[in-house]
A and B are shown apart, each in its own frame.
Chain A
């Protein structure tokens, strides 16, 4: 039932985000001639989709959405006055954190695969082809990258309960990570999550494992913060 609660809590923003993402991805496909002529006149269809979706506008929106999925949790419930009810349920704070994290990761994964499914499906409607393996490859990169971004929002919302302070902290955390990951001596040790999602960063099994491990660690940090906190 904790999953059910986490789903009810987040379903409005999830559905709105999904509709927005699906609509934009569809628009980029269905209006590709007009947009391509303006944005990337010399690009092939695949290059155009990469520029607008996997590198550009839609990826930026996805990052913001994934960050927003991380908002909420017990710190936010404290501001709404429901933390008393939640914390007196006979479950551990780890379980509360875990259920919310699982639903958030699942939601950002679904969001990540939305363009991956829509692009190959809709392309024949405009007499184009977008290969499924390529779409699913980006779906995988986005799902892992999105989960990583989600966990940054998750940590920020465990630390801050304010309506604005948590999102601001999440954005700051992501910016700080991106800047540090681009530093000359650091870039070989840290994965730039934006490059990773664009498909221009490291994509081997080690890189995938590193992103998964970092996301798991960030969820564990959130759980630890929540466990220690007074409400």
Chain B
């Protein structure tokens, strides 16, 4: 598999606080990868390090084969990628048209045709100042500026933050469309439902560390949520077998999230006279909560 992003032990410390800790991240080409994590998990810091906005304390990484810590290579990489930041702030003093002309001048692959098509599609008034645009309109303008340069990789930091449901829907459709045309998409979010809708791979970051990296197909095929009901409170340790991600006990009910050994867990439960056994596919939400709590 080809990777558009690869990091090795990427670490960022702010004084004594480790925002990102030995991150080994791999983002596959031709995929939509969701970067999940709670607020403050280190997602934005990781993205900023990839883009050269923040310098790593230690470790290294490449984006599209360019070393992120080398200023020249990082600049060359930025010519090939597009980034849409969390707050989608653009130059308030420019008009939509000025913003488009300004951005176009930096990218040799800029498609004026695509820019005008997107401007019409997004109904962006060319003479309106950026400061007079709503957040939804600003997001559309930021997407236009990102897509018209025809990037090999599109990086978005919390793209749906602050958007209304209609704008979120339009955004997700745009991202799915971009990915279908061959652009790798890497986007951070703490909205599990969004990631589940358009991502085909997911990386979970927690406490600055990579807690999970898997494809959603893998999740649906391999992971199981086993809900066990007992007449008496069962010992938790019985279900601690390889592949178990999390065990939760609520009174006489035990919930096990497992990647493998589902049959063994069921057999052990029956050995303890389980009153009910339910085996279901795991949702991304289950896995996310299991991973985050497990790491904690």
A-side residues, CB < 8 A to B, are: 1, 4-5, 8-9, 12, 80-85, 87-92, 228, 230-231
Contacts and interface: CB of A to CB of B under 8 A. Distances in A.
A82 B91 contact: yes
Contact of A88 (B51, B76, B91): B51
Interface in B69-110: 71, 75-76, 78-79, 81-83, 85-87, 89-94, 98, 101-103, 105-107
Contacts of A90: 75-76, 78-79, 106-107
Contacts of A88: 51, 53, 78, 81-83
B55 interface: yes
A231 B54 CA distance: 6
9 contacts: A1-B101, A1-B106, A4-B102, A81-B85, A82-B91, A84-B89, A88-B78, A89-B106, A230-B54
Contacts of B89: 80-82, 84-85
B18 interface: no
B204 to A, nearest CB: 23
B48 interface: yes
Contacts of A4: 102
Nearest to B94: A8
B52 interface: yes
Q: Which 3 A-B pairs have the closest CB atoms?
A: A81-B89, A84-B85, A90-B79
Nearest to B91: A82
Nearest to A4: B102
Contact of B106 (A80, A84, A91, A231): A91
B54 A80 contact: no
Interface residues of B, number: 32
A87 B47 CA distance: 13
A80 to B, nearest CB: 6
A193 to B, nearest CB: 31
B53 A83 contact: yes
A81, A84, A231: most-surrounded residue (chain B CB, <10 A) = A84
A210 B74 CA distance: 36
Contact of A8 (B85, B87, B93): B93
A176 to B, nearest CB: 28
- Candidate in B48, B81, B91, B103 with the most chain A CB atoms within 10 angstroms: B91
Contacts of B52: 87
B71 A85 contact: no
Contacts of B101: 1
Given A90-B76, A92-B71, A5 B106 contact: no
Given A85-B89, A87-B53, A88-B53, A5 B102 contact: yes
A2 to B, nearest CB: 9
Contacts of B85: 81, 84-85
Contacts of B71: 92
B51 A80 contact: no
Contacts of B98: 8
B39 to A, nearest CB: 17
A82 B85 CA distance: 9
A169 B76 CA distance: 35
A85 B53 contact: no
A48 B156 CA distance: 62
Contacts of A87: 51-53
A134 to B, nearest CB: 39
Contacts of B102: 1, 4-5
Interface hub of A5, A80, A87 (most chain B Cβ within 10 A): A87
Nearest to A93: B71
Nearest to B90: A85
A191 B102 CA distance: 41
B53 A231 contact: yes
B106 A230 contact: no
A228 B53 CA distance: 10
B91 A8 contact: yes
Contacts of A80: 89, 92
A230 B12 CA distance: 11
A60 to B, nearest CB: 28
Contacts of A82: 89-92
Contacts of A1: 101-102, 105-106
Nearest to B104: A1
A93 to B, nearest CB: 8
A91 B79 CA distance: 9
Given A4-B102, A81-B85, A84-B85, A92 B75 contact: yes
